[in-house]
Homo-oligomer: A and B are copies of this chain.
C-alpha cells in the first residue's frame, strides 16, 4: 500500500530521519541545523536537501506521528482517565518524536499547526463518544478534549522539556495516578463545577 519500490538510498533516508528526530527533540526547530543532522547521520548536508526538499519538509517528515489512541469505548467508563494518562505517558517515554513536536511547536508555526491537526483529527474523534454519555452537547466534546490536551501537554512539558525536578524523578506510575482522575473528570464529569 504505502510502500513503493525499495531504493538503494533507503538506509540513508532512514538515518537522516532518525538524526533529525533526535536533533529536533533536543534543540527545537531553529537550533537544529541541517548540517548537524547530516553530521549525526554520517552523510553530506546536500543529501538532506535532495531527499526532503528543504528544512520545513524534513521536519514535516520527521515529526509525522500517530498518537495511536486505543479504542476507549472498550474500557470501563470509570477507568478511561487513567487509561488515557498511561497511554500518553508511555507514548512520550518511548518516542522522541513527541518531544520533537512539542519543543518545535513552541516557536515554529508549522509544528504548532501540526499539533492542532493532531488534536482535531486524532484526539477529538476518540473523545467524542466518551463525552457523549455525560454530556450530549457535541460542542462540549472539543472543549473537554482541549482540557485533556492541556494537562497531558503540560505534564510532558514539565517532564521532558523543562525537566522540572520533582516531575522528572517522580515514578511514572505516580504521575499516572495523579493525572488519571484529572482526565477522568474532564471527560466524564457532568459540568465544570463537578468534583
Contacts and interface: CB of A to CB of B under 8 A. Distances in A.
A178 B149 CA distance: 13
Contacts of A184: 195
Interface string A65-107: 0000000000000000000000000000000000000110111
Contacts of A162: 105-106, 112, 115-116, 153
Interface stretch (A9-17, A23-31, A49-57): A23-31
Given A154-B157, A155-B150, A185-B181, A164 B106 contact: no
Contacts of A120: 165
Given A153-B154, A157-B157, A182-B182, A177 B163 contact: no
A192 interface: yes
Interface stretch (A34-42, A128-136, A166-174): A166-174
Identical chains bound together, number: 2
Interface of A: 27-31, 102-103, 105-107, 112, 115-116, 119-120, 142-143, 145-147, 149-155, 157-159, 161-167, 170, 174, 177-178, 181-182, 184-186, 192-195
22 contacts: A28-B28, A29-B107, A31-B107, A102-B106, A103-B106, A106-B107, A112-B163, A116-B162, A116-B165, A142-B166, A143-B166, A143-B167, A143-B170, A145-B166, A146-B165, A149-B154, A150-B154, A150-B155, A150-B157, A153-B157, A184-B195, A195-B195
